[in-house]
Structure 1
Amino acid sequence: MFKQFSSKLTLIDKYILKRYMVTFFSMLLLFIPIGITIDVSEKINKILENKVPFSKVFFYYIDFVIYFANLLFPIFLFLSIIWFTSKLANNTEIVAILSSGISFQRFLRPYIVGATLVCLFAMVMGFYLVPKSSDGFRSFRYLYLIGGGREEMRQTNDVYRQISEKEFVYVSNLNVEAQSAYNFVYEKFEKDSLVSKITASSITYNEKTKDYTLSNYNKREIGVLNDKIESDISKRMKFNFEIEELTPVVYIAETLLPGELNAFIEKEMLRGSSNINTYLVVKYKKWSVPVSAFILTIIAVAVSSMKRRGGMGVNLAIGIGVAFSYVFLDKIFGTLAEKSTFSPLLAVWIPNIVFGILAYYLLQNAKR
């Protein structure tokens, strides 16, 4: 199938497509030493202070490269297309191609093919590679580079969670490493009425028996006429939650594969989590960012296919401005959705909609 498709591409198509892919991946490879050098210069003191093992640092920088390559992919893509298309324009190669009778729309074909390949590459990265790299990258930063990072990874004080439609849990302080919590309160409701309440000074998870030990246990069952009260110094019970589920790490959504992310969001919706919009933004971006490859490709070609007096420098300046505007708009609306009631789906797709309109406008002018 690939051979049949490849045979339909002309020599010019293959030439442009090759330049597209080579320039894009070269831009990514150039980022690796530059990005690592800048990050090392900023973090070396913290790494040495915390005596981080070399193996952990090594794997951190592998995760660092994948994480930021995915994050900055629109900028790399846009600048690479601006770069090699401007060279084609300055060498009058585009003029020669269009003068031979090829329409501007036909001239775009190899660029669209390249955008399709980059889009698929970005999807594979976002769905399968980035979640694991994000986990390693974020964990390393919180554990070794951020002061008080272990505490900032998750909420550990005054944790209040809905664990099912009828059950609620509160703890004043939580220790995930020790699998324990303090000032535990469990409440069960039926039709908005409290039917059962359990309190304990502490609760600890037992790995072997898969249950919890409650210290200074008290239980009160609400009756129609009389309440039933039960107390004990220590009591072992089972609950349908895990200590880690009470307070997931702040970046949990970024570390999950697509199926896991969907299941996690459904579970958090049932629990009434206040971070649902944050999780939905991560989910929708897995699709919106790869699709931006087509929009940015069209804009880049439209901007750089015309030979300008200032040469490649003018095109690059325009390209940098447009690329950073896209990333800025993406961050603004992503944060807006996370911190307000603004629709996450709309927030994630607004940059593509805005720049899609710009791409159409520039394409019409470029044809003329």
Structure 2
Amino acid sequence: MKILDWYILKRFLLTYVFTVLMLEAVLIVIDVTEKIDDFNHPDLTAWRIITEYYINFIPYYANMLSPLIIFISAVFVTSKMATHTEIVAMLSSGISLKRILRPYLIGAVLIGILVFFLLNYINPIANRGRNNFEDNFVRAKYYFTEKNVHLKVAPQLYVYLESYDIVSRTGYKFTMEKVVNRNLVAKLDAPNVRWNPDKERWTVPNYKIRYFEKAGERIEKGQMMDTLLRMRPQDFESQHRLHEKLTLPELNAHIDLLRLRGADDVEIFLVEKYERMTYPFATLILTVIGVIVSARKTREGQGFQIAMGFILAFVYILLMVISRTFAYQGGIPSWLSAWIPNVVFCLIGLWMYRNVPK
């Protein structure tokens, strides 16, 4: 790598880190102001707030704002070089714009790889800690209040609960039915079903199983039975932003489970999965556009170029939010909603690259 590459790459990455730290500091101040009353709790200390909440707060917002941060970093570095006529000097010496873009793209690839691993493996763990803290000290305590719960726990197996208590992990008026070719072949009834944490299975007391056979109905009764179902106590706990708490393998497994159950909210998890895949590509696209936007020295100065960078970055985020909403409502496929912002800005970037003076 040549001196030019190191020069631009170092400034680009340092600006990215500085922008992350600056925005995080602003967000933390705003968040503290909003939650100051919640933090006034006898069980909370400053150390606990920092280690249990803000240490998990930082990666969440760093990734959420990564399109804005990468774009602003590219605009700031390039516009400053343009103001000092460094870009003009490079172009005059025969260095093409394509060559100038190389260190930016190297930096964008490094950041994209980091963003991918943070989004899929680090952030979900941090989000669990942040959400657990908010559940305990910020949000109202969650209670499972749904009645007449129906779940598909296997291809031919259906479960019904009249109600469920998340404290005792007990479901009441439990029914499990096996249906083959739309015919009911067996049905289990029990007054309740309780989760056994030691065996990690459900315990069914005083059960009665009815088998519907060609020869007639056969009944089997018992005092206690342990059963392994694709149903966990976590299914009845708060689902608030659950899609953000799952690592990539967990997210794929949860999507398969929701599809098996025929759940309505599977699109939320599909959109989350595809957006995690597209975020690294966004770093490349927005970096290129940021460089092109700010490569020319303008009369309005560096401030105008940075302002334009903010506007374009917010347009990208707005487009992402709009396409995500359409996917949640089933208007467009979830994979398409994740790619729409990137495709639109990729076309904008290609048009700008073809028309910018080189």
Same structural fold, with TM-score higher than 0.5 when normalized by the shorter chain? yes
* 1:35–1:210 CA distance, 2 compared to 1 (3 A): closer
> Does structure 2 conserve the Cα–Cα contact (< 8 Å) formed by 1:215 and 1:235?
yes
SS in 1 for 2:332: coil
Measured after TM superposition, the shift of residue 349 of structure 1 is 0.6
Provide closer, same or farther for how the CA distance between residues 123 and 295 of structure 1 changes in structure 2, counting only shifts above 3 A: same
**Within the alignment, does 1:189 sit opposite 2:179 as a pair?**
yes
Q: In structure 2, what residue type is equivalent to 1:352?
A: N
Residue 155 of structure 1 and its aligned partner are, at CA, apart by 7.5
In the other structure, the counterpart of 1:147 is 140
- Map 1:325-364 to 2 at 5 A: 325-340=315-330, 342-364=332-354
CA positional deviation for 1:264: 2.9
Residues 1:13 and 2:40 are matched in the alignment? no
Q: What is the match of residue 76 of structure 1? A: 69
Matches within 5 A, 1:1-368: 6=1, 9=2, 11-49=3-41, 51-52=43-44, 54-58=46-50, 59-148=52-141, 150-151=142-143, 156-214=146-204, 217-224=207-214, 226-230=216-220, 234-244=223-233, 246-247=235-236, 249-340=239-330, 342-367=332-357
Q: CA deviation at 1:367?
A: 3.2
Q: RMSD value over aligned CA atoms?
A: 2.2
- Give the residue type in structure 1 aligned to 2:225: R
Unaligned 5+ runs, structure 1: 1-5
Deviations 1:290-327 (A, max 9, x none): 11011001111111111111111211221111101111
Superposed displacement of residue 214, structure 1: 3.4
Distance 1:158 1:63, change over 3 A: farther
Whole-angstrom CA distance in 2 between matches of 1:104 and 1:170: 64
In structure 2, do the counterparts of structure 1 residues 34 and 94 end up closer, same or farther at CA, with 3 Å as the change threshold? same
Stretch moving more, 301-310 or 175-184: 175-184
Q: CA deviation at 1:215?
A: 5.0
Structure 1 residues 140 and 156: alpha-carbon distance in aligned structure 2, compared to 1, 3 A threshold:
farther
More displaced stretch, 269-278 vs 237-246: 237-246
* 1:120–1:243 Cα change, 3 Å: closer
For 1:318 and 1:29, locate their aligned partners in 2 and report how far apart those are by CA, in whole Å: 21
Residue 27 of structure 1 aligns with an amino acid whose one-letter code is T
Could you say what secondary structure the match of 1:309 adopts? coil
Does structure 1 retain, via aligned residues, the 8 Å contact 2:195–2:233? no
Q: Residue deviations 1:265-308, cap 9 Å, x none?
A: 22332232322221111211222011101100111111111111
Letter in structure 2 aligned against 1:239: L
C-alpha contact 2:74 2:290 (8 A) present in aligned 1:
yes
Could you give the per-residue CA deviations for residues 89-120 of structure 1, whole angstroms, max 9, x where no partner exists? 11111111111111111121111111111111
Q: Is the 8 A contact 1:50 1:144 kept in 2?
A: no
Change (3 A) 1:363 1:65: same
**Number of equivalenced pairs:** 356
Cα offsets for 1:186-239 (capped at 9, x unmatched): 11101111112223332112233444343564433223353234556x533313
Tell me, what secondary structure is at the counterpart of 1:330? helix
Which range is displaced more, 40-49 or 61-70? 40-49
**CA distance in 2: counterparts of 1:36 and 1:155, whole angstroms:** 34
Question: Contact 2:202 / 2:229 at 8 angstroms: preserved in 1?
Answer: no
Residue 188 of structure 2 aligns to a residue in which SS? strand
Give the 3 Å change call, closer, same or farther, for CA 207–115 of structure 1 in structure 2: closer
Deviates more, 1:211-220 or 1:358-367: 211-220
- Name the stretch that deviates more: 92-101 or 218-227: 218-227
Per mean C-alpha deviation after superposition, the further-off stretch among 349-358 and 331-340 is 331-340
Aligned partner of 2:214: which letter?
Answer: V
> TM-score, normalising length from structure 1?
0.89
Aligned-partner Cα distance in 2 for 1:155–1:286: 32
C-alpha distance in 1, partners of 2:324/2:336?
Answer: 10
How far apart are 1:54 and its partner, in Å?
4.6
Counterpart AA for 2:61: F
Supply the AA of the counterpart residue of 2:232: I
2: distance between equivalents of 1:155 and 1:130? 30
Contact 2:12 2:107 in 1 (8 A): yes
Q: Percent identity between the aligned chains? A: 32
Please report the TM-score for the alignment, with normalisation by the length of structure 2: 0.91
Cα offsets for 1:241-282 (capped at 9, x unmatched): 343254463433322322332233223322323222211112
Aligned counterparts of 1:175 and 1:156: Cα–Cα separation in 2: 10
C-alpha displacement of 1:48: 1.9
